[in-house]
Amino acid sequence: MAEDKLPGVMELTPLNPAFNDDPYALLDKLRSTDPVHRDTAAGVFVLTRYEEVRGILSDTTMWRHPERAEEAAVLSRQMLNPAPPGLNIPKEERGAGLLFMDEPDHMRVRTPIAKALYKRVAKSRPMVQQVVDEWLDKAKARPTIDLMADFAFRVPIDVIAHTLGVDKANFAQFREWSEGAILGIYPFRSEAETQAYIDGRNGLWRYTHELMDARRKKPADDLVSDMVALQAEGAEISDAELSMGLVGLLVGGNLTTTDLIGNAIWLLLTHPEQRAKLVADPSLIGGTVEEALRLESPVDITSRIAPREMNVGGCPVHTSQSLLLHLRAANHDPKVFPDPRRFDITRKDAPHVAFGGGLHACVGAPLGRMMGQVAIWTFFNRFPNARLAYPNEEPQWSALPFFRGLKTLTVAIQ
Ligand code: HEM
């Protein structure tokens, strides 16, 4: 096959102007020409068809930890690079938490975190509504807002802070650390951004340990109290794993939910007929969030490593070779989603893979969905006249590789 003409992984990022202009044209080309494509420079296979992506996600024998990837898998092994100087966190607490753990440790750590998180999410809708209302109250008197900076970036950090149990007095500091910690996933950081990342990670590390100690002495109605209680009752999770898991919730749930909120509101502002349907029938909010997750999936890729010799979509894959699963490409597979570029909040097709799947499926999906539903519905309910302030301008997508979200979006709200 003429692989050399096909885009490599780094060309499937906004760093490539052609991808920036029309990501779906490149993803369609790859899917229809070579759906299990070997990118020799990055040392990975890129999977773009729904069938193989779903199949690998569901295979519970696949590996995840980058140390298991062959030497040639340079992109996957980047995670193993030494920490920047100044990061004062013990080595065992520096990882990305659940995302890169393998069995049996992964499930040992994930089970109590998921148990405590799901219990909290079930009762946190009023808190999410309050956070959303607070930020919209701050914006309401202005003629225009930056939907991203004034709203979509704000809601997830505050909701996660409330969920964990961050004390109100520490909110501003927690927000600053969280914004810094997120910079860890930016590949092209300035010196100042690297410093903000180090300060954010160090701060969150110290703070989660302080919070665990405080809640052991005096429990409160929050996730950290629930987690230390589960630990005391015998859940096999160390303090290091718990701290890493808590920071993982924050980092995993922050930008992703911001992008979901921004992408969905932008889609509704640019598709008046879908917006009218939603306004007429609020029960469509669930379908709206799912369709936004499918059409403009916030996370482009996830990965797995082959634990044995395999055949993937007719292509031989050797033990320890790395597979990048292109979630956004799979969510646009016309075999599964007819007319995939159409935004249709009443779609009844197969489930999308925007939250990944299998053992590593996003543990924050119920919270992300709920934040998205409350934020999007409340925004349109409170600002029925909301419209793009510059309707003729192209949307400004963020330059962050492998994430799909808007940098800024000026919206007239009066
Ligand atoms: C709403 C937008 C969100 C999207 C699109 C999203 C997407 C994803 C994806 C694609 C994965 C990888 C799944 C896989 O490899 O199969 C993942 C994992 C994860 N997400 Fe999310 N996520 C979102 C929200 C959240 C929230 C709100 C939280 C935390 C409260 C969170 C925490 C995590 C964690 C901890 C993992 C690792 C799970 C594991 O490996 O067992 N995410 N997410």
CA of 299 to the centre of ligand 1 (A): 9
Give the span between the Cα atoms of 196 and 184, in whole angstroms: 9
Tokens of 40: 């020799």
Q: What type of residue is 126?
A: P
State the pLDDT at residue 187: 65
Query: Mean pLDDT score of the chain, rounded to an integer?
Result: 92
**What's the rounded mean pLDDT across residues 160-169?**
90
Q: What single DSSP character describes residue 6?
A: S
The burial class, CB within 10 Å (0-12 / 13-18 / 19+), for 218 is exposed
Least confident of 238-247, 299-308, 364-373: 238-247
Express each pLDDT in 374-391 by its tens digit: 999 999 999 999 999 999
Over range 230-235, report the average pLDDT: 91
Question: Domain locations in the chain?
Answer: 3-412
Identify the helix (H) or strand (E) that includes residue 75: helix 74-77
Q: By percentage, how much of the chain surpasses pLDDT 70?
A: 98
pLDDT for 136 beyond 90:
yes
From 50-64, 73-87, 315-329, 333-347, the region with the lowest mean pLDDT: 73-87
- Which pLDDT tens digit goes with each residue over 100-123? 899 999 999 999 999 999 999 989
> What are the CA-CA distances from residue 361 to residues 58, 149, 294, 371 (Å)?
9, 28, 15, 18
The answer to whether residue 48 scores a pLDDT higher than 70 is yes
Rounded CA-CA distance 11/8 in Å is: 5
Residues in the chain: 414
Per-residue model confidence as pLDDT tens digits over 196-223: 989 998 999 999 999 999 999 999 999 9
CB-ligand 1 contact for 262 (6 Å cutoff): no
Q: Is the backbone of residue 117 left (phi > 0), alpha (psi -120 to 50) or beta?
A: alpha
* Per-residue pLDDT at 2: 42
Q: Is the CB of 368 under 6 A from ligand 1?
A: yes
Q: 3-412: what fold?
A: Cytochrome p450 (1.10.630)
Of 5, 124, 100, 12, the C-alpha closest to 368 is: 124
Q: Are 101 and 305 contacting, i.e. CB atoms less than 8 angstroms apart?
A: no
Q: What is the pTM of this model?
A: 0.95
Task: Report the nearest-CA residue for atom 9 of ligand 1.
Answer: 355
- For residue 254, the model assigns a pLDDT of 87
**Is the pLDDT confidence value at 3 over 70?**
no
Instruction: Tell me, in angstroms, the distance from the centre of ligand 1 to residue 248's CA.
Output: 9
- CA dist 274 to 259, 267, 353, Å? 19, 9, 22
Residue 207 Cβ < 6 Å to ligand 1:
no
**224 CB under 6 A from ligand 1?**
no
User: Would you call 81 helix, strand, or coil by DSSP?
Assistant: coil
Please, are residues 341 and 271 in contact by the beta-carbon 8 Å criterion? no
Q: Which residue has the CA at smallest separation from atom 43 of ligand 1?
A: 362
Cα 384 to averaged position of ligand 1 atoms, centre (Å): 31
* pLDDT at residue number 96: 62
**pLDDT greater than 80 at residue 370:** yes
Question: How many angstroms is it from 57 CA to the middle of ligand 1?
Answer: 13
In this predicted structure, the answer to whether residue 13 has a pLDDT above a threshold of 60 is: yes
pLDDT at 97 over 90: no
Sequence-separated (6 or more) residues with CB below 8 Å from residue 325? 47, 53, 56, 57, 301, 302, 303, 304, 353, 356
Q: What is the mean pLDDT of residues 188-200?
A: 86
Q: Does residue 373 have its Cβ closer than 6 Å to ligand 1?
A: no
How much distance in Å is there from the Cα of 134 to the middle of ligand 1? 26
For residues 163-185, average pLDDT: 85
Confidence check: pLDDT of 129 > 80: yes
User: Mean per-residue pLDDT for 265-284?
Assistant: 98
More confident residue, 176 or 62: 62
User: Could you tell me if 271 and 246 are in contact, meaning their C-beta atoms sit under 8 angstroms apart?
Assistant: no
